[in-house]
A and B are shown apart, each in its own frame.
Chain A
Amino acid sequence: MALFGVDYTVIAVLAPFAAALAAPTMVRVFKHNAAWVLAIVPALVFLHFFRYVGAVSHGETFTEGFAWVPAYGVNFTFFLDGLAVLFALIVSGIGTLIILYAGGYMKGHAQQGRFLSFLFLFMGSMLGVVTGSNLITMFIFWELTSITSFLLIGFDHLRTASRRAAMQALVVTGGGGLALLAGFLMIISVTGKREMADVIASGDVLRESALYTPILIMVLLGAFTKSAQFPFHFWLPNAMEAPTPVSAYLHSATMVKAGVYLLMRLNPVLGDTSAWMTVLPLFGGVTLLVGTLLAVRQSDLKMMLAYTTVASLGLLVMLTGAGSEVAIEGAVLYLFAHALFKGALFMVAGLVDHETGTRDLGRLGGLRKAMPITFLCAVLAALSMGGLPPFIGFIAKEVLYEGTWNLAGRSELLTAVAVTGNALMLAAAFAVAFKPFLGKPTKTPKPAHEGPVLMWIGPLTLALCGLAAAVGVGWSGPSLLGPMAGAVAGVPVEGDYHLIPAHIGAPLYLSLVTVAAGLFVFWQIDAVRRGMAGVLKAIGWGPDRGFDQFISLVVRFAGAFTAIVQPGKMQIYMNTVFVVVAAALLVPMIYYGEGPSMPTMPDFRFYEWLVLALVVIGIIAVLAARTRLIAIVSLGIQGFAVAVLYMLFGAPDLSFTQFMVETLSVVILALVMTRLNLTAKDNRPFSETISHMIIAIAGGIGFGALLMAVTQVPFDSRLSDFFAANSRVVAHGRNIVNVIIVDFRGLDTLGEISVVMVTGLAILALIRIRSRGSKVPGNPPTGGPLKPVSEPHPEVAS
């Protein structure tokens, strides 16, 4: 299916990016009602992916897109199977509702346009992750979700907590992303395949590869950081600093599931090994328990939900790695259910916060009269989260219990973990859904009232979807959930689920235990909270504090390192430069034995020796000069001697120029030096003198030996011959040097003159801009009134 040669799926993935561009303008024109218009975009995307449901449920897959960088096998391709389609539906469907919700939530906010823009950017990136086929393309979208998450968490960037949470999320998920890139590159190198469809069809190649363990570690690092698995879970609760639409969308329904998506996606080729089936349930199980225990400890609605999200992600990872098809079915069902109920509950929390001014459970109560629709949404979603019939959460729980119960070997442990986690989750769900609404009305910062339609339409729709999916499981099972589970398991799955358990068995009993335990914890939640708070206080350290310590360590290290490599002393920089120069000259020459051979005594004539000696004497005099005048005059001697050398060796033009330049240099230097109160004495300590001498001599030997070696090989005179042959014939000049300068390389000379001119202007500017007072206190400028002493006219020289 294509439009103007571009596949619709490509357009669907790119559409949110276009909406992101349009959002600020739309908000400027329509104010918060722009959400109604903008929500059409994700709604259309949803419809587009919905059209694939029928075909995908029959086991078909689709690959669409185009070549991007064919030379490197990077393609802008998208792969649609049961897993990708359901994820795309979740992303675009919940995205539609979130855009509406954000319209109400951020109503009147000065930056609402920017906020919606970021949300759309994220939506496009997330669609790219779940549908991306090419590994490199998918990685790019993966990192884009980290970046947009950073932007959204830090949206309220005037608060330190926001900035910290945003940076934390970026460091953790971005770092994991880099590990994932390494994993992807290894996968590409092992399988030779770059498209996801080919990779997951590669069978046992990855499992049997020697690189399996490093690949697994890298992929797990990427997935665990993204999906907030213990011990990387700490960034997710902190991400609650973001406005609630972000928490509902990114940090519960979609982005944090990217890690789970990745594990599910690669399960057919990486799974079914003992490492996979050990590491995933271990980390997932620990995350589930830690998440739920920390959730019941919270008193803030959003924090409570955030920790249950961590727990749910743990559960998903645990089930993905459990190693049975039924467990995977349970994971798929739970993932779907979780996206619906958690998104709804977050939006409820946001509604309560928005309309009452607080999210603190201790300050909320009796809202059922003031906010009846919100209460309804909360109850519907919480019942699903608690795993009660007739909601999709119930079916999910039944299937996942069936999965863990029938595992070979570890079923007792995993079932116990799942039951504990689910019971605590039920308690947390009820705390969020009932505590604020039941009991006596309390005084809240804002008088409580029902929210606008923009804000309750989202949670209501999601909560009703949770109900509809369960009631209509005869359709949603085989059409949506079965194909997804099939894609994860790697074998076709029917998706035959029932709202009313087909037989009374272990899962149902486990559900009863869960509900009973959950209700008990809910009843005693204050005591549990106090207990957990005590335990945490006793531990005293957590990865969140660890992150601060890590960052502080990095900053200290950077500071210390900078202090070493940039100590602010020019001498150290110069030393480094010349040590490197000397080493670059000498080391290869010695290592490859390509130094010069021993030269014979040069056959200089008497007067040539004299001039050479003059150069040496001049330089020694400069080195040894005790007063500035001697130094300047010696410099002149050395320069004039070089000019004479040019004269003796057939270069009168050079000689003339050198005379001019040396004269000018000496004059200017003398003029400036008389204004400077400098000691001409070289006051380096003795040790420095020695080390500088060694560096200088090594550099000198390097240049000398290089030149000697160069002059000992035959001379290639082709270029010089060309100029000699063409100077008069082509350019009609007899002085070949001049012809080269003004004719063959005329443009170079133009550049040279420009440099001289610019330098002259810069010198003029430096002198004209009068000092605005000394910057060193107590050290007044010593220079007298200035005249433009060194305004050069170097053009005369050439």
Chain B
Amino acid sequence: MEAGFAVLIGFIFAASIYLMLSRQLIRILLGISILGNAVNLLIFTAGRLEREVPPVIPDSSLVPVGATANPLPQALILTAIVISFSFFAFLLVLAFRTYQELGTDDANEMRVAEPKGEARPPMGY
């Protein structure tokens, strides 16, 4: 099962990288959103898969009974999902405001920090 997940995750990574290499801000954002899922699934799979049994201790026991899913990656991912979401929301607004200010969604055209044809550094002393 893990191998199957690995193939799927490789595919998701490839798709997100391809989207992020685009020039359009929106595609980059879509790529980042997908990248978050890819990373989460990577962590999830690296902790090994277990069908259907959540890591919950029955009322009658002090420790889990039988095999359960691995709780540790789940805790990590839970944090990661929330953080990546807030990151995504921030980037989205940032992209939106950038578009408003610069009038373009082409990342290559955003040259405020590194203007085109920037003058050479000063030659004097």
Q: List chain A positions with a Cβ less than 8 A from chain B.
A: 160, 163-164, 167, 552, 555-556, 558-559, 566-571, 574-575, 578, 596, 599-600, 602-604, 612, 615-616, 619-620, 622-623, 628, 631, 635, 638-639, 642, 645-646, 648-654, 657-658, 661, 664-665, 668-669, 672-673, 675-676, 678-680, 682, 684, 692-693, 695-697, 699-705, 707-708, 710-711, 715, 717, 719-720, 723-725, 727-729, 734-737, 740-741, 745, 748-749, 752, 755-756, 759-760, 762-763, 766-767, 771, 774-776, 779-783, 790, 792, 794, 797-798
Contact = CB atoms under 8 A, between A and B. Distances in A.
A704 B15 CA distance: 13
Interface string B1-33: 111111111111111011111111111011001
A623 B82 CA distance: 25
A692 B21 contact: yes
Nearest to B85: A661
Contacts of A752: 79, 82-83
A779 B103 contact: yes
A740 B72 contact: yes
Interface in B34-90: 34, 37-38, 40-42, 44-59, 61-64, 68-72, 74-75, 77-79, 81-83, 85-90
A455 to B, nearest CB: 31
Given A638-B37, A678-B105, A776-B104, A615 B50 contact: no
B87 A759 contact: yes
B88 A736 contact: no
A708 B3 contact: yes
Contact of B21 (A571, A648, A727): A571
A141 to B, nearest CB: 27
A780 B103 contact: yes
Contacts of A623: 15, 18-19
B77 A654 contact: yes
Nearest to A757: B86
B10 A631 contact: no
B57 A736 contact: yes
Contacts of A708: 2-3, 6-7
Interface in B88-114: 88-90, 92-97, 99-105, 107-108, 110-114
Contacts of A774: 100-103
A728 B57 contact: yes
A715 B68 CA distance: 15
Contact of A602 (B1, B48, B108, B123): B1
A705 B10 contact: yes
Nearest to B1: A602
Given A734-B59, A756-B86, 10 more contacts: A574-B20, A596-B3, A664-B85, A695-B21, A707-B10, A741-B79, A749-B79, A755-B83, A782-B103, A798-B82
Nearest to B114: A568
Given A649-B51, A729-B62, A755-B83, A724 B102 contact: no
A650 B64 CA distance: 13
B23 A724 contact: no
Contacts of B96: 672, 675-676, 783, 790
9 contacts: A570-B23, A602-B4, A619-B11, A648-B52, A676-B26, A700-B13, A705-B6, A748-B79, A783-B100
Nearest to A777: B103
Contact of B108 (A167, A570, A711, A782): A570
B59 A616 contact: no
B13 A704 contact: yes
Nearest to A796: B82
A676 B81 contact: no
Nearest to A708: B6
- A-B interface, 3 closest residue pairs, ranked by CB to CB distance from nearest: A704-B10, A700-B14, A650-B69
Contacts of A723: 71-72
A705 B2 CA distance: 11
Contact of A665 (B19, B68, B70, B88): B88
A748 B68 CA distance: 24
Contacts of A700: 10-15, 17
B82 A794 contact: yes
Given A678-B26, A711-B46, A578 B20 contact: yes
Interface residues of B, number: 103
Given A574-B21, A794-B89, A604 B108 contact: no
Contacts of B92: 668-669, 672, 790
Most chain A CB within 10 A, of B33, B49, B74, B102, is at B74
B49 to A, nearest CB: 5
Contacts of A705: 6, 10
A707 B9 contact: yes
Contacts of B46: 707, 710-711
A622 B9 contact: no
A628 B34 CA distance: 16
A699 B85 contact: no
B103 A167 contact: no
A270 to B, nearest CB: 36
A745 B77 CA distance: 13
Contacts of A727: 57, 71
Given A555-B120, A723-B72, A680 B26 contact: yes
A782 to B, nearest CB: 7
Contacts of B10: 700-705, 707
A777 to B, nearest CB: 10
A763 B18 contact: no
B67 to A, nearest CB: 9
A236 B125 CA distance: 17
Nearest to A709: B6
Given A707-B46, A741-B75, A745-B75, A556 B101 contact: no
A763 B14 contact: no
A353 B61 CA distance: 98
B33 A684 contact: no
A570 to B, nearest CB: 4
Nearest to B80: A752
A498 B48 CA distance: 95
A578 B32 CA distance: 13
Nearest to B108: A569
Contact of A736 (B1, B45, B64, B125): B64
Contact of A648 (B17, B51, B72, B74): B51
Nearest to B72: A720
B89 to A, nearest CB: 5
A651 B6 contact: no
A299 to B, nearest CB: 25
Contacts of B120: 555-556, 559
A708 B122 CA distance: 53
B85 A797 contact: yes
Contacts of B71: 720, 723-724, 727, 736-737, 740
Contact of A697 (B14, B20, B30, B81): B14
Contact of B30 (A599, A631, A658, A720): A631
Contacts of B88: 665
Nearest to A599: B3
B122 to A, nearest CB: 8
A745 B110 CA distance: 41
**Interface core residue of B17, B61, B121 (most chain A CB under 10 Å):** B17
Nearest to B21: A692
B123 A612 contact: no
Nearest to A612: B8
